Structure 1
Amino acid sequence: MIIDFRSDTVTRPTQGMLEAMMKANVGDDVFGEDEAVNALEAFAAGIFGMEAGIFCASGTMTNQIAIKCHTQPADEVICEGQSHIYQYEGGGIAFNSGCQVKLIDGNRGRITADEISAVINPSDIHKPPSRLVSLENTSNRGGGSCYDIREIEKIRELCNREKLQLHLDGARLFNALVARNETPEAYGRLFDSISICLSKGLGAPVGSILLGKKECIHKARRIRKILGGGMRQAGYLAAAGLYALQHHVTRLSEDHGHAQQIAETLQVQDFVKSMMPVETNIIIFEVNPPYTALLLTQKLKEHGVLVYAISPTRIRMVLHLGITPAMVNTTCAVVAGLQLDESGINTGFEGQV
Structure 2
Amino acid sequence: MTSPLEPVLEVRDLHVTFPSDDGDVHAVAGMTFAVHENETLGIVGESGSGKSVTSMAVLGLLPRSAKVTGSVKLHGHELIGLTDAEMQPIRGEQIAMVFQDALTALNPVFKVGDQIAEAIKVHHDVSGPDLERRVVGLLETVGIPNPKDRAGQYPHEFSGGMRQRAMIAMSIANEPAVLIADEPTTALDVTIQAQVLEVFERIQERTRSSVILITHDLGVVAGTADRVVVMYAGREVEMANVDDLFYNPRHPYTRGLLASLPRVDGSRLSRLNRIKGQPPSLIAVPSGCAFHPRCDDAEVPGRCDLIRPELRTIEQRHRAACHFAEQLPPLSTTDLSAAAGGEKTTDHV
Task: Give the TM-score normalised by the residue count of structure 2.
Answer: 0.29
Greater helix share, structure number: 1
Higher relative contact order (CA 8 A, sep 6+): 1
Task: Give the TM-score normalised by the residue count of structure 1.
Answer: 0.28
